[in-house]
Amino acid sequence: MLLRIPFLAIYATRVSLAASSLVQRAAQSSNIPEISNEFVIPSNSTQATSSGTALPSLPSVISSGSLSNLSLATSNTSELVLNGTAAGLKLPAVVCDEEKGEGLTVQSCIQAYNVMTSYLTRLSHTRTKVTIGTRSQGIFDIPDRIRFLSPQGICAIDVGLAYDQADSTTTIELASAATALLNQCVEGYAEPQGGEIVSLGEKRQIDMEFHFNPMITLPQCKNPPPTGPPAQSCLSLLQSMPLGRSEQSFGLRGSNADVELPRALHGADGRCTLTLNTRGPIDWVTWDDIYEAVVEIDAICVRQGIRGVRANLGE
């Protein structure tokens, strides 16, 4: 199945993420079944954005090097991390990986880092200790797994559990781990490398990884509607989406597919809707693939207040 995520939608088994009252279906000329996904956030989103918007500054523990040419505004993100390092926080070993870094740029990983630390800063306003657990097993501060992506979709930071056992950590430990990976692996080599830190958390169940995000097909961004769904509503949708590495069949009602379409998923307040649809009859894709496609639309289009579409999901 060819899965395309258009401007607000993923087509094939099509996924579309938009304000609940503004979901639109792009007309398709192909007879190939597709999953599409639409996701819209207004332009005044509080999340990190790409060019044209100042990004939070990096902690001073990061060496200047190639970062010195970047113009970065100040924010309380650096305070969040530096307080942790000043307290003598000890992290597990950083393991850099050249293969995971193929295609990375320093700036793209700074941007992904800023998306992540902005998220952690918001969490730290209400709590410093956070729980991470499998989405199907309950409600946690951070769902397993969560991905932070640069605005061009190049650099990805994944945070998740090594196994399905829930764990807890602090926003400081997570931010400091991200700082160490960015400093040592991405900015520490002539050619940026990816890397990982494993065994974070009280039970040592939490892993973090920086890596290149290979996109077969870029989302197509289009002009926004008059209004879009609130950023936090769409974030809650992303955090509540089902995940799974096993392929499932997606098809029209009556097709005996594992997931019958159309199907809509909503943000916590119902103001952001993800619509999955298909031209049929059946195609196969994993929920992980759909989640990653929605994250790409969010990073590349939605954070700019623009609807987005992605193609080529499914078999």
At residue 196, the pLDDT reads: 98
Q: Are residues 35 and 92 in the same domain?
A: no
Q: Is 86 exposed, middle or buried (0-12, 13-18, 19+ CB in 10 A)?
A: exposed
8 A C-beta contact, residue 106 and residue 69: no
Q: Is residue 267 situated within a structural domain? A: yes
Q: Are residues 94 and 160 in the same domain?
A: yes
Q: Are residues 121 and 202 in the same domain?
A: yes
In order of 60, 256, 313, the CA distances from 85 in angstroms are: 11, 54, 42
Q: Is 81 exposed, middle or buried (0-12, 13-18, 19+ CB in 10 A)?
A: buried
At residue 225, the pLDDT reads: 59
Q: Is 73 exposed, middle or buried (0-12, 13-18, 19+ CB in 10 A)?
A: exposed
**End of a domain among 212, 244, 261?**
212
Q: Are residues 195 and 237 in the same domain?
A: no
Q: Is residue 35 situated within a structural domain? A: yes
At residue 140, the pLDDT reads: 94
Q: Are residues 130 and 230 in the same domain?
A: no
Q: Are residues 265 and 292 in the same domain?
A: yes
Tell me which amino acid residue 65 is. Answer: G
**End of a domain among 190, 212, 234?**
212
At residue 304, the pLDDT reads: 78
**End of a domain among 152, 184, 212?**
212
In order of 21, 42, 177, the CA distances from 18 in angstroms are: 8, 10, 33
In order of 80, 93, 119, 301, the CA distances from 149 in angstroms are: 20, 23, 12, 12
Q: Are residues 123 and 92 in the same domain?
A: yes
Q: Which domain holds residue 300?
A: 4-43+224-310
- Tens of pLDDT along the chain (315 residues) come to 333 333 334 333 445 555 543 333 222 222 222 333 443 322 223 333 323 222 233 232 232 222 222 222 223 334 444 444 435 688 999 999 999 999 999 999 999 999 999 999 999 998 889 999 999 888 899 999 999 999 999 999 999 999 989 999 999 999 999 999 999 999 999 999 999 999 999 999 999 999 999 987 888 787 665 555 666 777 888 999 999 999 999 988 889 999 998 888 888 888 777 878 777 788 899 999 999 999 998 888 878 777 777 766 787
Q: Are residues 244 and 189 in the same domain?
A: no
At residue 279, the pLDDT reads: 73
CA proximity to 189, closest of 13, 28, 63, 273: 63
Q: Are residues 161 and 100 in the same domain?
A: yes
At residue 71, the pLDDT reads: 20
Backbone phi, psi, residue 220, to 5°: -100, 115
At residue 87, the pLDDT reads: 53
Q: Are residues 163 and 282 in the same domain?
A: no
8 A C-beta contact, residue 41 and residue 230: yes
At residue 248, the pLDDT reads: 94
Q: Where is 298: in which H helix or E strand?
A: helix 287-300
Q: Is residue 48 situated within a structural domain? A: no
Q: Is residue 55 situated within a structural domain? A: no
Backbone phi, psi, residue 12, to 5°: 140, -85
Q: Are residues 203 and 229 in the same domain?
A: no
The whole-model pTM stands at 0.76
Q: How many domains does the chain have?
A: 2
